[in-house]
Amino acid sequence: MLEGTRLDELREEVSRLKLRREGATSERWLLWLGAALAVAGVVLLVGAYSSSHGTRDPLVQQDDVILALLGVSLAVIGSAVWFRHSLTRYFRYWLTRMVHEQRAQTDRVVEAVSSPPTRPQDERP
């Protein structure tokens, strides 16, 4: 796919960038936080729903319905955070792959343009 020299150049360029490694750690933490919030929201939702159907007192049922709505909110927010950070990781991989492919394509185009034509000459009688 990539020539060794182009790959080495890319590695050198990436090593010269001033990147902080803490970004990946915080992204991973937020990914797990989103998943935990989604699971906690579903557990809270199921618990509050079953509790609201276990009593006939309307005040207790209303409290459980409010807890169920809180569970739905946590599940939605957690899912959104998890989804956003999952897409961020995927798109970062996709963008890097696209850059590699475009560089390889550029190398092929430059080589094709700079090399002499290889068509046979027309022979006319």
Q: pLDDT at position 93, please?
A: 82
Q: Which residues contact 85 (CB under 8 A, 6 or more apart)?
A: 27, 30, 31, 34
Cβ pair 64, 49 in contact under 8 A: yes
pTM of the model: 0.61
Position of tokens 């068509």? 119
pLDDT, one tens digit per residue, over 88-102 is 878 888 888 888 889
Residue of 121 and 60 predicted with greater confidence: 60
Q: pLDDT at position 69, please?
A: 95
pLDDT, one tens digit per residue, over 41-55 is 999 999 998 988 888
Cβ pair 102, 73 in contact under 8 A: no
Its sign, for the CA torsion 19, 23, 25, 28, is negative
Nearest to 84 by CA among 43, 35, 19: 35
Q: pLDDT at position 123, please?
A: 61
**Per-domain boundaries in the chain:** 31-104
